[in-house]
């Protein structure tokens, strides 16, 4: 049978001060301080390394990058399956390419703090590149459609990996 661990409560001075203010008397303060010294419980976390917690915004960005990675993998699988061709309405493909390029330009042109600049630039550049590759499917020969779709998927997979690593590194 192990002996019970002794706990170090030397860092509880702020708690004792609060207890003294709330208690109203020194006698009650001493009783509370004695109880805090003798009671078993958690230690102060000041000795732990200082890591920022992952907040909801960073977790949401990480989830978005994972979804982009999965979208890129889907494009690669579609291209490798060999069932890629021009859609019945090539206008929709052109519109998708133009929207992606516009979205990428808008992302890179936005004013952002220097600490967030690299992930935003990667996001914008990848959207522009994917938009150009999607437009290329419409204007280049049909035999290049699979290759362009694989390249677009590869760009999205790399963006998902790099973006996810950057956001994960920032949140830890």
Residues 148 and 84 reside in one and the same domain: yes
pLDDT at position 51 is 52
Residues 87 and 19 reside in one and the same domain: no
Residue carrying structure tokens 């979208």: 71
Burial classification of residue 133, based on how many CB atoms lie within 10 Å of its CB (0-12 exposed, 13-18 middle, 19 or more buried): buried
How many domains does one find in the chain?
Answer: 2
- Domain hosting 39: range is 13-46
Which tokens is 72 given?
Answer: 């890129």
pLDDT at position 25 is 67
Residues 108 and 146 reside in one and the same domain: yes
Which whole-number Å values give the CA distances from 134 to 70, 98, 101, 140, in the listed order? 17, 9, 10, 10
Residues 104 and 28 reside in one and the same domain: no
Residue 91 has pLDDT above 70, yes or no: yes
Residue 7 falls within a domain, yes or no?
Answer: no
Residue 8 falls within a domain, yes or no?
Answer: no
pLDDT at position 154 is 95
Residue 3 falls within a domain, yes or no?
Answer: no
């Amino acid at each position: 049978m192990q002996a019970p661990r002794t706990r170090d409560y030397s860092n509880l001075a702020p708690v004792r001060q609060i207890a003294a203010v709330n208690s109203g008397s020194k006698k009650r303060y001493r009783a509370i301080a004695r109880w805090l010294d003798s009671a078993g419980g958690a230690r102060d976390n000041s000795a732990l390394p200082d890591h920022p917690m992952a907040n909801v915004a960073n977790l949401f960005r990480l989830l978005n990058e994972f979804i982009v990675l999965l979208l890129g993998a889907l494009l690669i699988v579609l291209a490798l399956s060999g069932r890629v061709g021009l859609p019945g309405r090539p206008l929709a493909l052109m519109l998708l390419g133009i929207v992606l390029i516009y979205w990428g330009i808008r992302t890179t042109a936005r004013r952002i703090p220097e600490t967030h600049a690299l992930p935003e630039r990667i996001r914008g550049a990848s959207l522009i590149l994917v938009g150009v590759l999607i437009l290329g499917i419409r204007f280049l020969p049909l035999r290049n459609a699979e290759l362009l779709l694989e390249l677009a998927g590869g760009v999205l997979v790399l963006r998902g990996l790099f973006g996810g690593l950057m956001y994960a590194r920032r949140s830890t």
